[in-house]
Structure 1
């Protein structure tokens, strides 16, 4: 049996399209620590509606999977750095500062994708995450991204011009 996902232990009310458990139309990605204790892993089987070319996964979906899973990886590393359990208060939240994707090979539809991510370097306000995407154990894409720790209430207020 799989350990509970970070999404389930930390943000059951999440509404993100990719990883939010409360989004009825979302993908409900689940990120968990791997047995190696270094990587977070997630799996996703893309539906045919996410094709870019015949029998190939749309690159935008791959980018979204990398974005969501990498963000959860950054947050998991923050909890670990503070020696706290995911879900403990105050909650740790991060947002994407920079999303980088390198497509290595075409990603086939009809295959479960495995994402393996880890923090690279120091965990700080800005954290670099490397995320590999595999289709049947074949590396098809690599994300190299930066995630920024934030107060989501302040972030939303600033986005809507309510700061200050």
Structure 2
């Protein structure tokens, strides 16, 4: 990150708030703060400004059949959401604009996700995620994500292709959904 980027980080999103707070009506199962049944992953700008980091505390229901190891689908869900938020945050950082400023609104979806499970992921400690953009930020953005115990070797490596939506709906559109008990 160059000096100009370092100066824009606080303007893009506060480092002490999860980037998902920029979209309070998001109902995504993995990262939506408005989904009471989901994981509600919270991703933060890393101190270096070049990545997003997150920590997830697995529950016993996230087991992979063996009670001490996380289910691979959980891990794929976490790296998917974390990667998309990484691409999104990097796009706004690249433009020097506040996250999810709607002029123009940039939103991404997963175009491809390759997940490699390197070792079983233990559930007796939080799962740490770190993701960064590999290459240029644009309509198709490649993100690399690692997950595993904090301070240990990654147990999961993933590469996501985040694809920008051509005409994204307004970010408050999900607030009209009734299946979450809202009227």
Compute the TM-score of the two structures, normalised by the length of structure 2. Answer: 0.79
Give 1:27 deviation, angstroms: 1.1
Structure 1 residue runs of 4 or more that deviate by more than 3 Å after TM superposition = none
Show the 5 A alignment for 1:61-76: 61-76=74-89
**Unaligned 5+ runs, structure 1:** 155-164
The change in CA–CA distance for 1:92 and 1:50 in structure 2 (over 3 A counts) is same
2:91 aligned residue (78, 99, 121): 78
Kindly tell me the number of residue pairs found equivalent between the two proteins: 152
Which residue of structure 1 lines up, in the alignment, with residue 42 of structure 2?
A: 30
Q: CA deviation at 1:24?
A: 1.2
Q: Find the residue that maps to 2:157 and give its secondary structure.
A: strand
* TM-score using structure 1 length: 0.88
**Aligned-pair Cα RMSD in Å:** 1.4
Supply the distance in 1 between the matched residues of 2:145 and 2:70 (Cα, whole angstroms).
17
8 A Cα contact 1:66 1:131, kept in partner: yes
Separation of aligned partners in 2, 1:105 and 1:129: 21
* 2:140 paired with 1:122: no
Residue matched to 1:52: 64
What whole-Å deviation, never above 9, does each CA across 1:22-61 have from its counterpart, x for those lacking one? 1111111111110011110011011110111311100000
- SS at 1:99's partner residue? strand
> Does structure 1 residue 101 correspond to structure 2 residue 123?
no
The answer on whether the counterparts of 1:47 and 1:110 sit within 8 Å (CA) in structure 2 is no
